[in-house]
Amino acid sequence: MKLAIFDIDGTLVRGSSERLFWRYLLVRGKQGPQQIFAFLLFMLRYLPIGGIHTPRKNKAYLTGLPVDEVERLAREFVDEKLMQRLYEPAVARLKQHLQRGDVVVLLSGTLYPIARALADRLGVTYVCATLISQRNGVFLAQPPEMHPYDAAKLNIVTRLAREHGFELADVVAYGDSKRDLFLLSAVGEPVAVRPDAQLLRVALARDWEIIAEPAKESALLR
């Protein structure tokens, strides 16, 4: 039995699920002056502290929105938009892990409601994604309580492995970006899925498994 970790954006899904969800909210009239002001204020307040990572942690566009409504919209978004953008080779690998009885986890910096809805559609039990602070059933304009990104992913997987009785050598991890290198370099079976140029170079140098369209792989190597 293995612990199989799957990134979402760029790995299971083509593109950024959160950007698509923001547009989904915009079209449905869920982005007004309160959300825009909160988003800009978050940048001004936290940019001196968080630096270049601040935009990724800025979820203040959810400020004031009811949690249950966002969760409902996330489920509708996954059904209507995200399922059409699945990268089938990665999904097929996920299904293989499930069939073998492996412990499968979706680990992503996208919003938890999106990741949870996608996991439910794929038959996955465990999800670790970005958790937004909330009070009285509405989202707050604060830094995320948890944000799986960059080196934080390795810390989370180390904890998950311990909780489920695995060593890191028993972990299979799937990622698409140089930001996944902390995690991929530490596990027993790293898999680069549609990798960016930097991850592809590392994967080739270290003889990692690569799942990608041949045309893309050739283009990245130029």
Residue 98 domain boundaries:
3-221
Query: The pTM is what?
Result: 0.92
pLDDT surpasses 70 at 220: no
Q: List the CATH number of the domain containing 124.
A: 3.40.50.1000
Say how many domains are in the chain. 1
Nearby residues of 186 by Cβ (< 8 Å), 6 or more positions away: 154, 157, 158, 168
Instruction: Give the pLDDT confidence score for residue 145 in this predicted structure.
Output: 93
Confidence of residue 214 (pLDDT cuts 50, 70, 90): low
Q: Give the model confidence (pLDDT) of 6-65 as tens digits.
A: 999 999 999 999 999 999 999 999 999 999 999 999 999 988 877 777 888 999 999 999
Q: Give the model confidence (pLDDT) of 72-127 as tens digits.
A: 999 999 999 999 999 999 999 999 999 999 999 999 999 999 999 999 999 999 99
CA distance linking residue 121 with residue 111, whole number of Å: 16
The alpha carbon of residue 45 and the mean position of all alpha carbons in its chain are separated, in whole angstroms, by 25
CA distances from 80 to 8, 111, 182, 202 (A): 17, 17, 33, 36
Instruction: Give the pLDDT confidence score for residue 50 in this predicted structure.
Output: 75
